[in-house]
Every structure is written in C-alpha cells, then in structure tokens.
Structure 1
Amino acid sequence: MTEEHYFSAQPSVGVRRRDVEFTAGGREYALVAAGGVFSADRLDPGTAVLLRKAALPGAGATGPLLDLGCGYGPIACVLATSAPSATVYAVDVNERARALAAENATRLGAANLRVAAPDEVPEDVRFAEIWSNPPIRIGKPELHAMLDRWLPRRAPDGVAWLVVARHLGGDSLQKWLEERGHRVARHASQKGYRVLKVG
C-alpha cells in the first residue's frame, strides 16, 4: 500500500482493522485504525512528537479546537479528553478516516468530538487552537491551499500547532508561513521533527 491512499476520499485498499495503543498527556489510549488511513499500524512518530511537545489544552479550555487531517483521530481524541468542555472538530477528506475517528470518539465516550468533512464545518466557527500533522506528501500547492484555508480561521488570539519532518521541508514550511504573514516559532525539535507554533 502506498501512503497516497490516505489522501483519497474513498480509499480502495482493504480495511484490515487493527488497534493502535499509545500514551499522551498521562493517559493511555487504544484506538482502532484500518488500511487506507494515515499511519494505520502505529501512532505516527510526528504525531507522537506533537502530542508530547506542544501544550495540550487544559481541562478548562472551551475551544473550539480543530484537528486538521485527523486520520483515525489520535490527536482529536487526545484533545477531546484533555478538554472535555471544548468542542473538538476532527476534519479529514478521507471517508474511512472519518468513520474510524467517530468510532474512536464513541469508544472514549468523547461526546464533544465532532467528525466532519472539510465543507461540513460551519463557516462562522473560529478555532482557539488548530492542531495538525499536515499531509506534506500531497505536494506544496495542495498543502499550501489547505493551510491558507484553515489557518485564517483561528480566533483572534488563537494558535496553531503543526508538526513537520525536517527532511520533508519543516524549515521551508516555516519560511513560507512567515511570508504569508503568520508569526511562527519553532517550539520544539525532536527525532527529526519540528513542532511549529503559529500565532
């Protein structure tokens, strides 16, 4: 299976479900993943770095929060359980990913997690936090269009947390974001990944 399948709205590869277990924010998670979604065999190393190094919202956070390109939902599920009073949107173009994210939210009892296709998110929603392990491999034009669409939807004091592998252009993405007028800080680096905080 090539990684590109997870960019498809309706993946053609076999489902082949499997459990993915990981720890984040001091809590253990056991989520279901399947073929045709991003990093279906394990928690993606970049996602692990993001969840370890970025500042998870506190229990009192009210959001709304966004997991952009949610896959089967590891980031969204961590956000929803860390901030139970916040509405968390888990957004992905991949239909199978959305179904898995919804199933995982149900597993966790995370009634505050809303799974949606990009066009299903109400236009007036402004996010206190946007979290993403963005799909670098879709190519720069598509990646830039995605970020241009969603980053302006931060609330006035909102932030975005992005993780990008250095060898896949983490530094060049930071430069591009700055050229687009965003304030960007390299919050952390670990295991070849950059965690960028976009203010």
Structure 2
Amino acid sequence: MSNDHYFTAQPASKDERRLVSVRLDGRDVEVETAGGIFSPGRLDLGTQVLLRSVPEPPQTGNLLDVGCGWGPVALTLALQAPGAAVWAVDVNERALDLTRRNAARLGLENVTACRPEDVPDDVRFAALWSNPPIRVGKDVLHDLLRTWLPRLTDDGVAHLVVQRNLGADSLQGWIAREIRPDVTRAASAKGFRVLRVGPGTAAVPGATPTE
C-alpha cells in the first residue's frame, strides 16, 4: 500500500467493513475494520507490546493517540480512563470513521477522532500513547513527533512503540537530541521497543504479548 493511498483513503462502505474479535483492556470485544488501514485483520504485535507495557493512564485531562488506525490504542485509553478526553488523531479518513464507529459500538463517549489540524491549539496532553506510522518515512515521522511531543503537559508522559529493526534505537537518540532529553527505553519485547518520553521514572510492567 503506497503512502499516497494511505493519506487519501475514504471511509469504507458497508460492504467493505467487517467485524473482528480482539481483546482490549482485558475484555473480548468486536470492532469494525476494513482494508486500506494498518493491520485491518487483527491487533498487531507492536500495539500489543505497547498496551502491555504502559502504566495506567491519567484518569482526567486530555489523552492522545497519534496514528489511531481503527482505534485500538484510543479505545483502550477510553476504557481505562472514562473520565478523560481521548483524542484519536489520524490523516486517514477511513481510519477516523472506523475509530468513531468502534467508540460508539463500545459506548465510549469520551473519544474524539479527528485530523491533526482539528485538535485545538491550546489542548495539551497528560499522556500520549502511539504506535507511530514508521513507514511513512523519517521526515514525516520527525515532523509528527515535533508536533505532538511538545504538547505534553509539564508532567505528561508519552509512550511510543517502534520496531527495533525499523530504527527504534536511532529514533530514541534523535528525540533526545532534537526534542527533549528525557527519553528512555521503557520496555523491549518481540522485536519492539517502547520509548518513554517525559519527566521522572516509572515502573513499567513486562511486555510479553501473545499472537
């Protein structure tokens, strides 16, 4: 799938959408997915590593999922923090439509799925969880991180999952040089790194995802 197709995908038709059973926040749920987005048939391994490696999110404030796809990270944030406002950001209209459908399907009224430019400039985030779109290219990825990491609150923390052989370690070094030095490796499992960006330290549960 080319990057151009990813950026311009339109919402899936009824015939294109299908139900998939996944496990989110310790429960089995059905979600809608479709072709033309990342990992449409399952909960991908990188996201599994991320969700098994992050601490509980803040229960209030604004929480952010960058590159939401069909919504697994944003939905998990909303399930774990029903009193917070969850922002699910993507440039793919198909992904945003699916995230909205899945939030409604699970009764999650605290999810806003929107394009990056539709997030108000004054919103800052108490937590950022993301399986960022590495394959869009280094320049696009760096612009994405330059946009969102500075929008953490003073005590806000980001967790990013990146495949080791796609440059997780070099990305950690770049973040430390170009954005902020408080970036550490919070977990490593199944060929993925989880990078933590933010003040302080935190005990992170071990990540041992299953296929």
Q: In structure 1, which of residues 88, 93, 96 is the aligned counterpart of residue 94 of structure 2?
A: 96
Equivalences for residues 164-183 of structure 1 within 5 A: 164-180=162-178, 181-183=180-182
Stretches of structure 1 lacking an aligned partner (at least 5 in a row):
none
Taking the aligned partners of 1:148 and 1:157, their CA distance within structure 2 comes to 18
C-alpha distance 30-171 of structure 1, shift in aligned 2 (>3 A): same
% identical aligned pairs: 52
In structure 1, what residue type is equivalent to 2:126?
A
Taking the aligned partners of 2:124 and 2:181, their CA distance within structure 1 comes to 16
Q: In structure 2, which of residues 145, 154, 157 is the aligned counterpart of residue 156 of structure 1?
A: 154
Corresponding residue number in structure 1 for 2:188: 189
Stretches of structure 2 lacking an aligned partner (at least 5 in a row):
199-211
Taking the aligned partners of 1:7 and 1:56, their CA distance within structure 2 comes to 31
Contact 1:134 1:143 in 2 (8 A): yes
Q: In structure 1, which of residues 96, 112, 115 is the aligned counterpart of residue 113 of structure 2?
A: 115
Q: In structure 2, which of residues 73, 77, 83 is the aligned counterpart of residue 79 of structure 1?
A: 77
C-alpha deviations, 1:150-170, integer Å up to 9, x for none?
110000100001000000001
Q: In structure 1, which of residues 131, 142, 153 is the aligned counterpart of residue 140 of structure 2?
A: 142
Deviation at 1:11, TM superposition (A): 5.0
In structure 1, what residue type is equivalent to 2:197?
V
C-alpha deviations, 1:77-103, integer Å up to 9, x for none?
010011000000011000010000000
Taking the aligned partners of 1:20 and 1:105, their CA distance within structure 2 comes to 14
TM normalised by structure 1 equals: 0.92
Runs of 4+ in 1 over 6 A off after TM superposition: 12-15
Deviation at 1:28, TM superposition (A): 2.2
TM normalised by structure 2 equals: 0.87
In structure 2, what residue type is equivalent to 1:68?
V
Deviation at 1:171, TM superposition (A): 0.5
Q: How many residues align?
A: 196
C-alpha deviations, 1:7-41, integer Å up to 9, x for none?
31325998732223222332223211101111101
